[in-house]
Structure 1
Amino acid sequence: MTADKIKFGTDGWRAIIAQDFTVYNVARVSQALADWLLASNKEAKVVVGHDCRFGGELFTEMVTKVLCANGIKVYLAKGFISTPMISLGVLKMNAQQGVVITASHNPPSYNGYKLKGAHGGPSSPKDIAAVEALIKDEVKIPAENLAHWEEKGLLEYVNLEDMYIEYLKTKFNFDELNNSPFKLAYDAMYGAGQNVVRRLLPGAVLLHCENNPGFNGQAPEPLDRNLQELSKTIRNTPELKIGLATDGDADRIGLYDEDGNFVDAHHIILLLVHYLHKYKGMTGKVAIAFSATDRVKRMAEKYGLPVEVTPIGFKYISEIMINEDVLVGGEESGGIAVKGHIPERDGIYDGLVIYEFMTQTGKTLKQLCEEVYEVVGTFVYDRNDLHIANDKKEAIIKKALDKGYTEFGKYTFNTIETIDGVKYHLDNGGWIMLRASGTEPLLRVYAEGNSKEQTADILEDVLATIL
């Protein structure tokens, strides 16, 4: 019997627990990782951990056993951890690799396997492809338990949460933040950021900061539709001035202003560039994924900062960050990295930078967004995820690539880009993008207009055209 082909997508391998994401398949990937590491380094060390998802401990145990059986030293995190904690741990422990068992923001039925490089960020696309190519159909499962490997000195337990918290204390003034005139609410979405915020900002109002491996049945993705309780809490509590949310493994961010309105990743990227450059005098390249707003280019141009647009997947941004001086690197889905931190998305770190911005300027999030609009103009972004059959999804993308769409209802466009998906630059200054998911029967439709009404109208016209 031929085993299933395991494929790494934009950010790791993800599959449904007990269907394809099995202990045996985790062993297959781990053996491939061991083979790849040992080919270039006989003394390899790997940091391993899992987030709050179902089965995390079981799967990390298998990763650890396979790596140790190959003579690879494993630093295993105690309890659940966030993805940025693993990346920081890899850097701090001088390890060659990190493995996080997480499916990030995916629905609760999924788990996944993320690879982190020695630089403290996602492994490069080239390295991931090399590991993937080594995955065999059959592997031998080691019989020895973890206690055996600990005794042999190949397994060491580490407290990555403490390490991460001590590190954050060197980056932010928590006395100042804890006395901020702006009270903060935090929604962990039952994810791996819950302990950190509780420990660092004891005055924060906490939502969904309990361990619930099924995330109460909802995908832990920090989108407005998934965070209505946070929005309502802010609207009903006048002293709350900012809402921060992070996804299942705490590397993605969502924000709310003092009125309980969602502040999306496009605005967060612009706020970070604005704060770090205009207020803190920092410089560097701005690296954005193809699905990010073009307003970032506008701001970078005004501030004299170079910009690079990458395919979708943070690993592409991370690669630029390792090799170049990058001020902010970010994607539309809420994965953002900033200068002065590791080349990794980190929802909590990004949230603290914005909270510091508010605290130091005495301005609310809404006022800071107004500052951004003064530079780039007002805009509203939205995205529609269409769950449609794969053949229909492929047909729409094929037509788009073949330039089969000449307009979308009343909306005409002047240029088309195809870096990753198909992006139409509209004559009204907005844009539309079509992109198929590589792993699910899903077509993503992105749109940006100058107002909420216009953006909703653009999406309506796009759907009427393509469906």
Structure 2
Amino acid sequence: MINIKFGTDGWRAIIAQEFTVKNVTRVAYGTALWLKEHKQKSSVVIGNDPRFAGKLFAETTAKVFANAGIKVFLSSTDFVSTPMVSLGTTLLKADLGVIITASHNPPAYNGYKIKASYGGPATPDMIDQVENLIPSGVPLELLSIEEYKKQGLIELIDLEDMYVKHVEEKFDLDAIRNSGMNFAYDAMYGAGQNVMRRLFPDATFLHCEHNPGFDGQAPEPIHKNLEEFSELIKLSGDIDSGLATDGDADRIGLYDSEGNFVDSHHILLLLIHYLHKYQGLNGDVITTFSCTQKIADLCKAYNLPHTITKIGFKYICDLMVNSGKQVLVGGEESGGLAIAGYIPERDGIWIGLTIWEFMAKTGKSLDDLIEEVYAIVGSFAVERYDLHLTEDKKQAIISACQNRSYKSFGSFEVSSVEDMDGFKFHFGDGSWVMIRPSGTEPVLRVYAEAPTSQAAFKILDATKATLLA
């Protein structure tokens, strides 16, 4: 039996290799044990994204919980997004949520994410406790879903419907629909497709079919995976903005009317600008170590507290839930963002609708709104390379970073180094490069910030040449 370890955001493994019914049963059993230890009478919300065999794994999980005497609210639709499970957990006042998803990972993977009662990622401490309760085997005789339904232990629930109603209550959808602006949505074959069709039937849709293999591509909403969408927007000539979400619809990808990718650094700035300047809201801003320095600059201009955390939305969520402070915006570079007035959870659709509402209510284009932010903090670009290396080479680079062996990258002289989570090398003029191993893949991520995209790539190229020398 494999030793099951949760990564940055849940347990993920290759379907039929390690992600099997037997191993999912073990994880569900450990989670159920944890819940029973902490609560006498408890309930859980369970759903799955559109990945291969998602329903099978969700039903297996549901049966394990029901077998332990825990009330299960099981999603009745073919698939749901992670935010639908998180929101459902809070609205149904459940003690836990479980979503079967591997998020943006390649199609061969599936995964298991745990959500806490507050509708956000479980704390690292709780995950450690669950891990320690996962047995090496579970000789359970599970009944059918129908049998557990008869016993009142499993109840089918339409989480999609709950989510749509919540969106309709919280957003001025009429303003968006009647703005005269045209919008497009790329589901990347993921879990957001049905909801967006319901909310915006007149939008332009791409990859909004059920395709459990995601057409062979990892459903991560980054530009290199969205070039078809970008081209569609360019060629249309009349689409004002395009929204893309990942496999479980908790991450966002955004495009302007020219088909240019708008990264999370810019989205975070737009959210702060909209919520504070236009809506008069205040609160803390929490961002991860890989985000642009411009966020600190905008917070300073608006007199908003700003906290930087390690990379991983769970650290942001922890502060949103436990700091006792009102959080205005929380987010990470990889497209996971959250805002005040909602659950402490990433939600690509929720954030996309916030930006579209900002455009609709001001009558301004995305470019105009970004220019408003640039007028305060200056223009910038953050770019990223993913270096696929052998484990030995990766470890040698990390060791060199730890030993402060890198004094320069090409012509870029290092002035200072931060190592909160990975290694950020500052060059003294506001530009920097950051090196960090991925928490979920055999990859070394390299980020750079500079005044222009061209300048950022120059830093990346110099860094890559130094690292691989």
TM-score (norm 2): 0.98
Task: Measure the CA separation in 2 of the matches of 1:285 and 1:413.
Answer: 31
Alignment of 1:190-205 (within 5 A): 190-205=189-204
Q: Provide the secondary structure at the position in 1 that maps to 2:184.
A: strand
Corresponding residue for residue 365 of structure 2: 364
- The answer to whether residue 379 in structure 2 is matched with residue 378 in structure 1 is yes
Whether the 8 Å CA contact 1:251–1:348 is kept in 2: the answer is yes
Q: Provide the secondary structure at the position in 2 that maps to 1:386.
A: strand
Task: Measure the CA separation in 1 of the matches of 2:214 and 2:440.
Answer: 21
- The answer to whether residue 114 in structure 2 is matched with residue 115 in structure 1 is yes
Q: Structure 2 counterpart of 1:414, which letter?
A: S
Post-superposition offset of 1:183: 0.5
Corresponding residue for residue 157 of structure 1: 156
Task: Measure the CA separation in 1 of the matches of 2:229 and 2:143.
Answer: 46
Post-superposition offset of 1:441: 1.7
Corresponding residue for residue 9 of structure 2: 11
When structure 1 is superposed on structure 2, of 137-146 and 443-452 the one drifting more is 137-146
Whether the 8 Å CA contact 2:282–2:328 is kept in 1: the answer is yes
Whether the 8 Å CA contact 2:50–2:247 is kept in 1: the answer is yes
Post-superposition offset of 1:59: 0.5
Corresponding residue for residue 347 of structure 2: 346
- The answer to whether residue 385 in structure 2 is matched with residue 387 in structure 1 is no
Q: Deviations over 1:284-321 (max 9, x none)?
A: 00000111111111111111011111111111101111
Task: Measure the CA separation in 2 of the matches of 1:11 and 1:108.
Answer: 17
Q: Provide the secondary structure at the position in 1 that maps to 2:415.
A: strand
Corresponding residue for residue 307 of structure 2: 308
When structure 1 is superposed on structure 2, of 214-223 and 317-326 the one drifting more is 317-326
Q: Structure 1 counterpart of 2:192, which letter?
A: G
Task: Measure the CA separation in 2 of the matches of 1:394 and 1:23.
Answer: 34
Q: Structure 1 counterpart of 2:378, which letter?
A: G
Q: Deviations over 1:326-385 (max 9, x none)?
A: 000000000000001110000000000000110111110011111111111111111111
Corresponding residue for residue 70 of structure 1: 68
Post-superposition offset of 1:134: 1.0
**Alignment partner for residue 49 of structure 1, among 34, 47, 50?**
47
**Alignment partner for residue 60 of structure 1, among 41, 58, 61?**
58
Q: Aligned residues, how many?
A: 465
Whether the 8 Å CA contact 1:85–1:160 is kept in 2: the answer is yes
Q: Provide the secondary structure at the position in 2 that maps to 1:240.
A: coil
Q: Provide the secondary structure at the position in 2 that maps to 1:432.
A: strand
Corresponding residue for residue 135 of structure 1: 134
Post-superposition offset of 1:141: 3.1
Whether the 8 Å CA contact 2:67–2:142 is kept in 1: the answer is no
Post-superposition offset of 1:439: 3.3
Q: Structure 1 counterpart of 2:344, which letter?
A: P
Whether the 8 Å CA contact 2:251–2:346 is kept in 1: the answer is yes
Corresponding residue for residue 456 of structure 1: 457
- The answer to whether residue 21 in structure 2 is matched with residue 20 in structure 1 is no
| Gap runs ≥5 in structure 2 | none
Corresponding residue for residue 400 of structure 1: 401
Corresponding residue for residue 440 of structure 2: 439
Post-superposition offset of 1:58: 0.8
Runs of 4 or more, structure 1, over 6 Å off, are none
Post-superposition offset of 1:181: 2.2
Post-superposition offset of 1:143: 3.0
Post-superposition offset of 1:444: 0.6
When structure 1 is superposed on structure 2, of 421-430 and 61-70 the one drifting more is 421-430
Corresponding residue for residue 256 of structure 1: 255
Whether the 8 Å CA contact 1:89–1:160 is kept in 2: the answer is yes
**Alignment partner for residue 30 of structure 1, among 28, 31, 48?**
28
Post-superposition offset of 1:417: 1.1
Q: Provide the secondary structure at the position in 1 that maps to 2:190.
A: coil
Task: Measure the CA separation in 2 of the matches of 1:380 and 1:217.
Answer: 30
When structure 1 is superposed on structure 2, of 288-297 and 214-223 the one drifting more is 288-297
Task: Measure the CA separation in 1 of the matches of 2:96 and 2:457.
Answer: 44
Corresponding residue for residue 97 of structure 2: 98
Q: Structure 1 counterpart of 2:22, which letter?
A: Y
Alignment of 1:323-342 (within 5 A): 323=322, 324-342=325-343
Post-superposition offset of 1:13: 0.6
